[in-house]
Structure 1
Amino acid sequence: MTSRAAHLGMWLWAALVGLSFPAVGLLSELPPMLLTALRFAIACGGLWPLAYWADGFRPAPAAWPLYALMGLCLAGFFGAMFWAAHHATALSMATLYVSVPLLAYGLGRLLRVEQPAWRLPAILALGAAGALALALAEARVRGGAMQLGRGEAVFFAGCVCSALYPVISKWGLNTGLLSASAAVRTFWSLALGGALIGLLGLLVEPAVRLGSMRWSDGLLLVYLGLCSSALTFWLMQRATQVLTPGAITAYGYLVPFVSMLVLFLRVPQSLGWIWLPGSLMVLAAIALLLRHDAGGGSTRA
């Protein structure tokens, strides 16, 4: 796969993730870990035909712990997001989420899947500033407020998990422990993560509360499972073959940009100059990232 195809896939990833945050907010307050396990099960069902017929579907014994760790990273992020959606403000979550690319770069340096350079961290810092500006603009339009509390702490832990996932994936690919198939890597990380988080959910959460799930919750869960879990993480795993964790997670800066566009469609009168600085910084960061990659600034490791 070419670097250009990987970047195009990550543009689609950003659009899907950006649309998933409003969808999560529409869900009823249900047990977050069990909800995450159901979401992963739906995602695995969608990925099964692709993964089963791919080469290396059955992992080697040494790969199982790595897949389990990747699965825990996914479960940690989504479980934190489901829980924090009812205990933290949207602005707080959006602000904390901009830390993911810089966290991924730092963790990638520790595992030596990122090159020591100043350009990529500078690009990530520019994107973080732009995404933060967009989050603050949205808060001003919607009347939200930034706060720090238990919900924000839980969501930040989820952000660390999100940053660690592509780092472990890249390290596993570089060492030859993980399958070359993006579908296989996504399937097993979701399957093991879903099993582990589901078991923990059964131990600590009231499973009976799932009985209060509405039909609208079920439809949203199917959408989140297929589009915001299976497809987005397949796109991320696909990009992992040619891009580094920092470059991949930098597309997270487009998430508030997508939210802004959705807001314009729903509330056209919210369009104003307040959105311009953040939008320009985010788009400039992505353009510089593409140029950095094309110029051999090396997204490969």
Structure 2
Amino acid sequence: MLLWALLVGLSFPAVGLMSALPPLLLTALRFAIACAGLWWLARRSPSFVPAWRVLPLYALMGLCLAGFFGAMFWAAHHATALSMATLYVCVPLLAFLLGLGFRVEQAGWRLPAILALGAAGALGLALAEAYQQGGRLSVGKGEVVFFLGCVSTALYPVLSKWGLATGRLPASAAVRTFWSLGLGGVLIGLVGLALEPLGRLAEMTASDLLLLVYLGLFSSALTFWLMQRATAALTPGAVTAYGYLVPFVSMLLLFIQTPERIDWVWVPGSLAVLVAMALLMQRNGNSHAAAD
């Protein structure tokens, strides 16, 4: 999940470098590339071909992913990479609350407290960004759309955990990732064909294509395969809590690009995020030790 957080953090600046192309069709292409990368791994599993009764669940999981990435592509040209990465930190709390509703999370105080600490740290990073820019935090249409995408992606690990707990989904993380991305890509592609001009994809440049391949293989196939593997062992809130490292990664990228922006205002938020992650890993380690 640490590798997952690094890949997700790198994806926000990458999306911002792309041209303003149709977000739904772009998401469908991204999922198709991801499925192509996962095919060789998923097809080796004996549970590769799903039962008909599981297809609606895979389709719903795919729509959760498609909703997030569609919102991400659209919001990339209406919000900054750091603001998107910061909004993303609401996902663990949303996943925890949704997990309680699906009975795949246990009520308690320790995990919510860790999630709140991580969220406070991420908010501190957002305030540091606003302070350095001499402005104030504001909510625009880009932030609103991306927040709805965050709600969508928070439901994905909850559905995955529920499917595993009820025996509906197979043990193979590659198979779960392949079919959820595949069915989600088909559904979002059909919506894109109905709502977006297909000819605009012809405006895609060579650099756009390279970025799309990178996002498909690394920021979709690999990240969600890693998430599916972690979902089998952790609860949705614990899995998505690693997203608190995403704005931290974006901050480090910002420092690499503009070292003069290093200032003490970034310290409180960074420390809170790092402490929250240390507590989370300690909690997960204790849970595994107790299980053994």
Q: Under a length normalisation based on structure 1, what TM-score does the superposition of the two structures give?
A: 0.93
Match of 1:151 among 136, 139, 142: 142
Q: Aligned partners of 2:162, 2:271: CA distance in 1, in Å?
A: 33
Report how far residue 131 of structure 1 moved: 0.9
Q: Aligned partners of 2:26, 2:285: CA distance in 1, in Å?
A: 40
More divergent stretch after superposition (177-186 vs 146-155): 146-155
SS in 1 for 2:287: coil
Q: Aligned partners of 1:299, 1:262: CA distance in 2, in Å?
A: 38
Report how far residue 88 of structure 1 moved: 3.0
Q: Aligned partners of 2:150, 2:136: CA distance in 1, in Å?
A: 20
8 A Cα contact 1:91 1:146, kept in partner: no
Q: Aligned partners of 1:298, 1:92: CA distance in 2, in Å?
A: 37
Which residue does 1:194 correspond to in 2?
A: 185
Q: Aligned partners of 2:219, 2:81: CA distance in 1, in Å?
A: 18
Q: Aligned partners of 2:22, 2:215: CA distance in 1, in Å?
A: 16
| Structure 1 residue identity aligned to 2:98 | L
8 A Cα contact 1:243 1:299, kept in partner: no
| Structure 2 residue identity aligned to 1:139 | A
8 A Cα contact 1:18 1:259, kept in partner: yes
Which residue does 1:229 correspond to in 2?
A: 220
Which residue does 2:210 correspond to in 1?
A: 219
Q: Is 1:20 aligned to 2:6, yes or no?
A: no
SS in 2 for 1:99: helix
Which residue does 1:115 correspond to in 2?
A: 106
> Aligned pair in 2 of structure 1 residues 298, 33: CA closer, same or farther (>3 Å)?
farther
Match of 1:272 among 232, 247, 263: 263
Q: Under a length normalisation based on structure 2, what TM-score does the superposition of the two structures give?
A: 0.95
8 A Cα contact 2:25 2:193, kept in partner: yes
Which residue does 2:48 correspond to in 1?
A: 57
Q: Aligned partners of 1:212, 1:156: CA distance in 2, in Å?
A: 28
8 A Cα contact 1:91 1:136, kept in partner: no
> Aligned pair in 2 of structure 1 residues 92, 19: CA closer, same or farther (>3 Å)?
closer
> Aligned pair in 2 of structure 1 residues 298, 148: CA closer, same or farther (>3 Å)?
farther
Which residue does 2:277 correspond to in 1?
A: 286
Matches within 5 A, 1:68-87: 68-87=59-78
> Aligned pair in 2 of structure 1 residues 59, 18: CA closer, same or farther (>3 Å)?
same
Match of 1:174 among 135, 142, 165: 165
SS in 2 for 1:98: helix
More divergent stretch after superposition (93-102 vs 211-220): 93-102
Q: Aligned partners of 1:35, 1:140: CA distance in 2, in Å?
A: 34
Report how far residue 92 of structure 1 moved: 4.0
Match of 1:209 among 191, 200, 214: 200
SS in 2 for 1:296: helix
Report how far residue 143 of structure 1 moved: 5.5
Report how far residue 86 of structure 1 moved: 1.6
Instruction: Provide, for residues 214-248 of structure 1, a one-character-per-residue CA deviation record: whole Å limited to 9, x for no partner.
Output: 00000000000000000000000000110010001
Report how far residue 149 of structure 1 moved: 3.1
Which residue does 1:7 correspond to in 2?
A: none
8 A Cα contact 1:101 1:252, kept in partner: yes
| Structure 2 residue identity aligned to 1:287 | A
Gaps of 5+ in 1: 1-9
Q: Is 1:184 aligned to 2:175, yes or no?
A: yes
Which residue does 1:6 correspond to in 2?
A: none
Q: Aligned partners of 2:136, 2:23: CA distance in 1, in Å?
A: 24
8 A Cα contact 1:89 1:146, kept in partner: no
Q: Aligned partners of 2:176, 2:273: CA distance in 1, in Å?
A: 30
Q: CA RMSD in A?
A: 1.7
Match of 1:162 among 144, 153, 159: 153
Equivalent pairs, count: 291
| Structure 1 residue identity aligned to 2:111 | L
Q: Aligned partners of 1:227, 1:12: CA distance in 2, in Å?
A: 11
Gaps of 5+ in 2: none
Report how far residue 118 of structure 1 moved: 0.6
> Aligned pair in 2 of structure 1 residues 298, 255: CA closer, same or farther (>3 Å)?
farther
SS in 2 for 1:236: helix
8 A Cα contact 1:242 1:299, kept in partner: no
| Structure 2 residue identity aligned to 1:122 | A
Q: Aligned partners of 1:190, 1:225: CA distance in 2, in Å?
A: 10
